[in-house]
Amino acid sequence: MLVLTRKPNQAVRIGPDVEVRVLEISDGQVRLGITAPRWVPVHRDEVYREIQEANLQAACTAPDDVAAARRALSKDGAGRVLQEEPHTKPQG
């Protein structure tokens, strides 16, 4: 682990695209500003862990659960999505 000391308004760069800047230090808390491209996910650690747990739970979904969900969401109740008639534009 790299450990750095920074003062307010000083920054750390992570690669060419990510900047972490110390905005404020007060009452035992540090406010950080993070600049990163939209495609770089940035989460607090506890949120990241919740996302990982939810993804793990979703990956462990039993095939019967998927089939039941598909039946519940299908239009005919048997798991098949029926073809809808094409919409036609009114003549006018």
User: Tens digits of per-residue pLDDT, 58-85?
Assistant: 888 777 877 787 778 876 666 565 555 5
84/86 Cα distance (integer angstroms): 6
For the chain, what is the mean pLDDT?
Answer: 85
Alpha-carbon distances, residue 17 vs 14, 36, 42 (angstroms): 7, 6, 13
52 and 68, same structural domain?
A: yes
Predicted model pTM: 0.60
Domain that holds residue 31: 7-41
Count CA atoms within 13 Å of residue 11 on its CB side.
13
35 and 57, same structural domain?
A: no
CB atoms within 10 A of CB 13: 11
Task: Give the pLDDT confidence of 31-47 residue by residue, as tens digits.
Answer: 999 999 999 999 999 99
* Residue 88 forms part of a structural domain: no
Residue 44: its pLDDT value, please? 95
* Residue 60 forms part of a structural domain: yes
Q: Alpha helix (H) ranges present in 1-92? A: 45-59, 63-73
* Residue 69 forms part of a structural domain: yes
Amino acid identity, position 46: E
* Residue 91 forms part of a structural domain: no
**Which residue has tokens 């009114």?**
90
- Overall domain count for the chain: 2
* Residue 57 forms part of a structural domain: yes
